[in-house]
Structure 1
């Protein structure tokens, strides 16, 4: 059963979030007669490649690394409860991998000729960190690849757009003093609050100016400063992210942020991550093909959405391929102790992927 596959993947990832699920994927494919090729990414990390046919046109990609099982001291639930399967990575994105492995197993057992498919399957690493796996993958992908289906949790809706990201780390210098005499020091927490207020207002200003279909979002991620002692702290730090829709010029946003920072000598800042947004036209042949297969297999139209988070699709888009994002699971529960995926969505995902591989073996 598909939940048995997912349970093995989740348990393996729980033991080693970076490599564990990869070893289980290799073992599973070996049992059904498929040999994966390891592509080194950096020491101890590797992508897994499964070429199905000559001159593939479609890349199906999913990352097998996960965030750690324990986040902020909270451990993710584990196991099937009713209609849901819980576990770290079950939604992001081991559920998608389980559906894909189930598809490969069923097709192999019925004697389907997978070598006739115009598909290259890649299981990537490091998506949760720097995305290096999907960059290195491009070194061996043949020039015949035109499109990419990136498996991520979208509740089985096809994401045609991905929000850009602009992430900063800010350090604010202060001057210590006794907490009862704040005028003798310089409190960096007050500046931290001012920075946060400015950035929140800036997001509102850009949304009013550009009126994006998906609003620009300011997301504080981490704030550090102060202690339990009655003392003005000597420093504070803030890490934040902007999720940037396609209508908002990322360079203009970046300029406004840094123009504000340069006004204050006590502020040091660095860009942690910068990636522009992208979008794909719904009338593209690849999207129309996916929509047609989806409706044939599941009996209702494919819905469209957007991906609010960075994914490997960004690196594929930069390469010049046409990537879209799709898969079972709700992104909102990913990275939380309640991470789960609906079993019904896993089965529907497997049904769609089976239809897709069959179709791409006939064209």
Structure 2
């Protein structure tokens, strides 16, 4: 471990990190309503003497960007500040039980965000200006919706590397699943619900379509590498009638090497077979979003840094592919190599039991600092 890393690790303040984290959790910041937390973070950095640049995304929504060192940043720490909507607006904030911190966004990803902020503050405090690595910090909006914050950033900036603090339990994800959304619409004939024989029930058709899909090998959870979830299903709401329309959306997470276009063609083929098997079926299939996965070479300066520092932290370095969708897909498509690594676990993200072990948040701050120094 280098002298610079040692000095920065000594400057990391767990008390300050905890305060920042708790205050972030107590600010409600669902996608589209991130201004309050951005104002808080902008004030935090401005008070500490940092120059913070706002990058407009749309009206009253903006990313925050900071840089240090000389020359173009070789690595950006990337954190999204938005969350999914609260399960309960009376109970979304921070709650502590021992070393575990609960709250909306604690894992996804205010824990990673707070750790990146602490790493930044510690580097600035411990290193002379000429010692600081050429790195940046992006605090982005909109990840939980459509990634518009990172998309706006990538219109102007293409750093060689990014470290994105999504919840991985500190597992280093140099590989990332792809993601796509498949939409299905069935149409029927409306009739009074007491006379279903006069109509054609679009919901019944949709259920048969989904059963037909489930029989195909690509939807066989025991054998297929594709991870899928039926996210939502809705029908026409006219009251006491046979529904004449039903819409379903399926999320599909694809292994890093899987081509989304090939999966789309396969689903269209299966759907065509459903039209032959289900009498009177009127079915449309659409794909509103698709993003390919990726697999990076772990034999890089980031990989070597992780190999050196994990034993110093008493951690075993583990590697995996990140199974969810994230802004990492956008960064990779734009030519940046994104490492996904952060505290917390996907198992609790987006649930009312979302949580993170504070010791992981502290360790993440040290990991992020070491990765930044390794980049310079």
State the shift of 1:110 in Å. 4.2
State the shift of 1:13 in Å. 3.0
Aligned residue for 1:25, secondary structure, equals helix
* 2:136 matches 1:126: no
Aligned residue for 1:12, secondary structure, equals coil
Aligned residue for 2:310, secondary structure, equals helix
Give, in whole Å, the separation in 2 of the partners of 1:191 and 1:115.
Answer: 65
CA root-mean-square deviation: 2.7
Q: Show the 5 A alignment for 1:66-85.
A: 66-70=83-87, 76=92, 78-85=94-101
* Structure 2: gaps of 5 or more residues: 1-14, 276-280
State the shift of 1:195 in Å. 2.1
Aligned residue for 1:13, secondary structure, equals coil
Number of residues of Structure 1 aligned to a counterpart in Structure 2 = 353
State the shift of 1:226 in Å. 6.5
Distance 1:247 1:141, change over 3 A: closer
Partner in structure 2 of residue 183 of structure 1: 197
Distance 1:123 1:220, change over 3 A: same
Alpha-carbon displacement from aligned partner over 1:130-162 (angstroms, at most 9, x marks no partner): 1122122123326xx321111111000011221
Distance 1:70 1:300, change over 3 A: closer
* Structure 1: gaps of 5 or more residues: none
Instruction: Give 2:185's match in structure 1, choosing from 171, 182, 192.
Output: 171
* 2:290 matches 1:280: no
Give, in whole Å, the separation in 1 of the partners of 2:65 and 2:52.
Answer: 5
Q: Show the 5 A alignment for 1:225-236.
A: 225=235, 231-236=241-246
Alpha-carbon displacement from aligned partner over 1:267-318 (angstroms, at most 9, x marks no partner): 233322111111112223432333323334x133311122111111111111
Q: Show the 5 A alignment for 1:53-72.
A: 53=69, 54-70=71-87
Name the TM-score, length of structure 1 as normaliser: 0.87
Alpha-carbon displacement from aligned partner over 1:325-346 (angstroms, at most 9, x marks no partner): 0000111211111111111111
Partner in structure 2 of residue 161 of structure 1: 175
State the shift of 1:97 in Å. 1.1
Aligned residue for 1:349, secondary structure, equals helix
Residue 226 of structure 1 contacts residue 232 of structure 1 at CA under 8 Å; is this kept in 2? no
Name the TM-score, length of structure 2 as normaliser: 0.85
Residue 189 of structure 2 contacts residue 243 of structure 2 at CA under 8 Å; is this kept in 1? yes
